[in-house]
Amino acid sequence: MLLTFDIGNTNIKVVVFDKQTAIHQWRISTNPKRTGDEYFSIIKSLMSSENVDTKTLENTIISSVVPKLIGAFVIATQKLTGQKPIILNPEHYKKLPVIVPENSVSEIGTDLLCDAVGAWNKYNQPCIIADFGTALSFTAIAPNAEIAGIAIAPGIGTAVNSLFNNAAQLPEVPLEIPNTSLGTNTVECIQSGIIFGYKGLVEGMISQMKNDMLKKYSIMPQDIRTIATGGFNSMLQPITNVFEDLDKQLTTNGLRLVAEIILKSN
């Protein structure tokens, strides 16, 4: 079986795969101050609660956008499985089915790379992936499987936290879709600005990227598939039809595919 760690800025997704099927999944809060021993203890406890036999974990792969935690998870992996994990890094990129531009090799987040691999494997066509995480990232994939470009904005949760932390008179409110954009009290005003504001951001960004892909690759906008993934994507689903697919496991499955490709090439 395969163990995958997708280390994000807010959460760490821990998944155990039996071939292509995710049979166990957990989320742990990201804390760069935790040691490898601490993460080992947490993960070991979670696995024990699900009766996961760590001896069956044949391989492990780590994708991380938090460099400080890579060492901790190498330690945790070795204590769990007795083996060194694969750490996804630029040395692996040329083995993958998507093309990373040379000037982006040292900069692209491994989570977005996994998104691209997962999307290209699943749909095999030009697409735009919106990943709703700590950051809201848009990854465009060209007809030749090249990563055409990426746009990054603050994630919905990040924007909301910044608003509440920096505006003393604004209370924290539940992020629910208001009946109208014309807010008449503080709660409705904030909900309108965040929800409808991000609706406009997402739709506008996807429209802009499609137009730019038309100019660069002569591909019609209707031939570019739009995919949403990440924790906050479902928030906008009822009020926009910009996405053709909602795939919450895109990054995780992309990481599994990356591991399979790397292991076969070794």
**C-alpha–C-alpha distance, residues 10 and 207, integer Å:** 28
Distances (CA, A) of 61 to 6, 70, 260, 262: 9, 11, 10, 10
What amino acid occupies position 4? T
What amino acid occupies position 243? F
Determine which one of 18, 37, 111, 115 is catalytic. 111
**C-alpha–C-alpha distance, residues 4 and 17, integer Å:** 8
Q: H/E element holding 64?
A: strand 59-64
* Residue 253 in tokens: 């499955």
Distances (CA, A) of 110 to 66, 105, 125, 204, 262: 10, 10, 21, 25, 14
CA 56 to chain centre: 27
* Residue 208 in tokens: 């802009």
CA 250 to chain centre: 8
- Residue 257: half-sphere exposure toward Cβ, Cα within 13 Å: 22
What amino acid occupies position 170? L
111 assigned to active site: yes
Q: Where in the sequence numbering do the catalytic residues fall?
A: 111
